[in-house]
Copies of this chain bind each other. A is one copy, B any other.
Amino acid sequence: MQAAERAAWLRLILLPGVGPRTARHLLATFGLPDAIFDAGLSTLLRTVPEPLARLLLQPPSEEVRSAIEATEQWLAAAPDHAFITLADANYPQTLLTTADPPPVLFAVGRVELLNRPSLAIVGSRNATRQGNENAHGFARALAQAGVTIVSGLALGIDASAHSGALAADSDASTVAVLGTGVDVIYPASNRRLTLDVRKRGVVISEFALRTPAITHNFPRRNRIIAGMTRGVLVVEAALRSGSLITARLAADSGRDVFAVPGSIHSPLSKGCHRLIRDGAKLVESAQDVLEELGLTGRPRADADSPPPEPAAHADLLQLVGHDPIDLERLVKESGREPGELVGALLELELTQYVERLPGNRYQRLR
């Protein structure tokens, strides 16, 4: 991309009063940003109200020109600094299917990660030790299985998720979506982790360089986390929590929502339990997530130890067979009492010898 074209994109997103929505509206009408700034008043007035049209006609402010210059210097400073627009192939394509994709993204690191199969892992900043360990464990195992882990580089669950992904022996790695400029380190205690993610993963932001930590930018950042992934896993979250908003945004965009359950006495599990009640999938392991995402060929198995041979029910197993058979017929053919039979069938089901089908029918699995 030419510097002039980048300057037009920056002018557009830095214009006071122009958010992603207005920017996309203008782009949809005029095509590239250059065309917006080249248009005359009467043309602009067909698309936007007069105050905005007049604003678009003014030359860029001192502040905007300085931001453009700083961006050019930053891009020239390192080969892994990138400026990605909606029109760019590196732009996360899944984000385009959401209601509010940002017009541009700044990135530091491996931009090719932005279009990998990915999962967001989010949660409380004040996570428990166990919560942090869980986030680390899920992220590591999922990255190991080839899933890029997306999070917000906040303290607590976010940080544990990023570092878990980086601990995997895999190039799936991790994407950090910031609520500040990509050149800002926030919070300061995440300095080392931020440098690590820049180097081995990628850090992105829709906010201009040098944008400091401003409270209301963080919820906006969450829509990117939710929108660029195939699903969101919430590890620990209080009832009123940004993570629940991220999960809600994900559900609204048709993404899967996963939640890790915990003690009913832990305030940081209440958010997860709320999500599960509202339809999120309860997950106990990375394997559960992979299966739900359809990213594993393995049948669902609680494979800590192979199930024991169902010696006690071998006759019943014989009777069930590999074609569906209904309960009534099993009662008749087995001669067992229905209560006892259902118990035996459930045992066989739990040890994955039979599967229960709709309509009280059963089928042998192995």
Tell me whether B339 and A219 are in contact (CB under 8 A): yes
CA distance A208 to B283 in the complex (A): 45
Tell me whether A347 and B240 are in contact (CB under 8 A): yes
Asked if A263 CB lies within 8 Å of chain B CBs, one says: yes
Partner pick for A223 among B19, B263, B282, B339, CB 8 A cutoff: B339
Chain B neighbourhood of A88, CB < 8 A: none
Given contacts A100-B338, A220-B339, A350-B239, contact A282 B270 (CB under 8 A): no
Q: Shortest Cβ distance from A278 into chain B, in angstroms?
A: 10
Asked if A342 CB lies within 8 Å of chain B CBs, one says: yes
Query: Beta-carbon contacts of A280-305 to B below 8 Å, as 1s and 0s?
Result: 01111100000000000000001000
Tell me whether A245 and B342 are in contact (CB under 8 A): yes
Tell me whether B261 and A269 are in contact (CB under 8 A): yes
Q: Shortest Cβ distance from A132 into chain B, in angstroms?
A: 14
Given contacts A223-B339, A346-B245, contact A264 B20 (CB under 8 A): no
Asked if A260 CB lies within 8 Å of chain B CBs, one says: yes
Given contacts A263-B262, A302-B270, A347-B240, contact A249 B284 (CB under 8 A): no
Of the listed residues A252, A270, A337, the one surrounded by the most CB atoms of chain B closer than 10 A to its CB is: A337
Q: Shortest Cβ distance from A221 into chain B, in angstroms?
A: 9
CA distance A264 to B269 in the complex (A): 12
CA distance A252 to B338 in the complex (A): 12
Tell me whether A346 and B244 are in contact (CB under 8 A): yes
Chain B neighbourhood of A350, CB < 8 A: 239-240, 244
In the complex, what residue of chain B is closest to A269 when comparing beta carbons?
B261
Query: Beta-carbon contacts of A256-268 to B below 8 Å, as 1s and 0s?
Result: 0000111111000
CA distance A162 to B285 in the complex (A): 34
In the complex, what residue of chain B is closest to A339 when comparing beta carbons?
B223
Tell me whether A134 and B240 are in contact (CB under 8 A): no
